[in-house]
Chain A
Amino acid sequence: MSLFSSMLTSASGLTAERLRLDLIAGNIANARTTRTAEGGPYRRKSAVFAEVLDRAGRAGRGVKVAAITVDRTEGRLEYDPQHPDANEDGYVAYPNVDILQEMVDMITASRSYEANVTALNAAKSMFLKALEIGRR
């Protein structure tokens, strides 16, 4: 239904920002995780967004998550010989999660979510205004 296409576009934006917030929450929760299924410390995850076009390839139909990438940069090393995951020199490899950066990303994610809600409400009020055409 093309009647609600702008609402569906905003909905895709909301879903994408929700996923971004999920990933940020995961990064913060695992900020000191030293064990993962693939071995080694947790690595920061982030989402890559891609534009969605309609079938004709002209107008935008919203956004989709193209991939969830894993940040492969090395995390910090802390000296803690008592830690069970310490290496032979006594250093523990911690995740490459920077809490400050995650907080800033969280602010942009929640603000983007709000912006999408505002766009959706604007589309709704335009629709309602259109219904007033010709009303006596």
Chain B
Amino acid sequence: MITEALNPYIPVAWQQTQMQEKVQAGDGDFAHMLKDALNGVNKLQVKADEAALQLANGQAEDVHQVMIAVEQAMLAMQLTVQIRNKVIEAYQEIARMQI
């Protein structure tokens, strides 16, 4: 049972997402959600590009910030590709259905 107070046996970040979902539920359909997610991934890519450019210009203060931005963009991209694979798989499953 999850109460409003934090449950020590469930990770805090997960519980917070649960709380956020409660607020966000109801607005937007699947397409809207997908668009938002893709925008988020695109933002990370742009951020990584900017960080790499700053490093090349010699404006970057920390090398690790650049590396982390690039890694985040890469991970978000891989997550997107995996989601896409799942969606395509589901579509093909339905397309193969016998009528």
Taking the complex as formed, is A4 at the interface, i.e. its CB lies under 8 A from any CB of chain B? Answer: yes
**Pick from B17, B65, B71, B79: contact of A124, CB under 8 Å:** B71
Interface of A (DSSP majority class): helix
A127/B75 in contact, CB under 8 A: yes
Query: A117: which B residues are within 8 A, CB to CB?
Result: 64
Instruction: In the complex, identify which listed stretch (A7-15, A43-51, A62-70, A82-90) lies at the interface while the others stay far away.
Output: A7-15
Taking the complex as formed, is A56 at the interface, i.e. its CB lies under 8 A from any CB of chain B? Answer: yes
B13/A5 in contact, CB under 8 A: yes
The digit string for B43-81, where 1 denotes a CB below 8 A from any CB of A, is 000000000000000000010110010011001101100
Query: A100: which B residues are within 8 A, CB to CB?
Result: none
B40/A1 in contact, CB under 8 A: yes
In the complex, the chain A residue whose C-beta lies closest to that of B83 is A131
| A128 to B75 CA separation, bound complex (whole angstroms) | 7
A15/B64 in contact, CB under 8 A: yes
**Pick from B40, B62, B68, B79: contact of A131, CB under 8 Å:** B79
Interface of B (DSSP majority class): helix
Taking the complex as formed, is B6 at the interface, i.e. its CB lies under 8 A from any CB of chain A? Answer: yes
B17/A120 in contact, CB under 8 A: no
Looking at the assembled complex, report how far the CB atom of B16 sits from the nearest CB atom of chain A, in whole angstroms.
7
A15/B62 in contact, CB under 8 A: yes
Indicate whether A2 sits within 8 Å of B16 (C-beta atoms), given known contacts A131-B78, A131-B82: yes
Looking at the assembled complex, report how far the CB atom of B40 sits from the nearest CB atom of chain A, in whole angstroms.
7
**Given contact pairs A56-B16, A120-B68, a sample of 19 additional A-B residue pairs in the complex whose CB atoms are under 8 Å apart:** A1-B40, A3-B76, A3-B79, A4-B72, A10-B68, A11-B64, A11-B68, A14-B62, A15-B65, A18-B62, A18-B64, A59-B13, A117-B64, A124-B71, A127-B79, A131-B78, A131-B79, A131-B82, A134-B86
